[in-house]
Amino acid sequence: MIRNLMLSSGLALLVLAAAGCEILGLDGDVKVRVRNGSDQVLTDVSIFLPRNTLFFPELLPGEASAYAVVPKAYRIVTAEVVVGQDTARAQVIDYVGETPLDGGRYTYILRVSPGDPPSLGVDFEKER
């Protein structure tokens, strides 16, 4: 009986550790999300990664998307958004010298600066 209790306790600890790794992003997957860091509604939000594109129809001010598991990502990213009637784009020229992100959770923060047309900046944040 004590042996069964010890085995059950050990199994429970393994399950909790595995769940904790997934929550913290330590399971090896690269998980990214996008947050609207501006005070304007962003529509038709596209994030262009090396092997895929993430699309969000709308992000309200301060809103963040859910995390998406991606095969490859970098600190820098090309992004395009629509603000009102204008399109703003932040363009990456190349990834030379950049290192792919390790497994974990990351956020790309989109910041729109007023202008005609508005400009788009992308900040990067590693989640803890």
Q: Is the pTM of this model over 0.85?
A: no
> Residue 9: inside a domain, yes or no?
no
Find the mean pLDDT for residues 100-122: 95
CATH number of the domain at 68, please.
2.60.40.2890
Find the mean pLDDT for residues 95-99: 94
Find the mean pLDDT for residues 17-35: 70
Output phi, psi for 51, to 5 deg.
-120, 0
- Taking alpha carbons only, the member of 66, 61, 59, 53 closest to residue 105 is 66
Number of domains in the chain: 1
Find the mean pLDDT for residues 97-107: 96
Per-residue pLDDT tens for 45-93? 999 999 899 999 999 999 999 999 999 999 999 999 999 999 999 999 9
- The sheet carrying 30-36 orders its strands as 68-70, 30-36, 104-113, 119-126
> Residue 23: inside a domain, yes or no?
no
Per-residue pLDDT tens for 28-52? 999 999 999 999 999 999 999 998 9
> Residue 2: inside a domain, yes or no?
no
What pLDDT score does 4 carry? Answer: 56
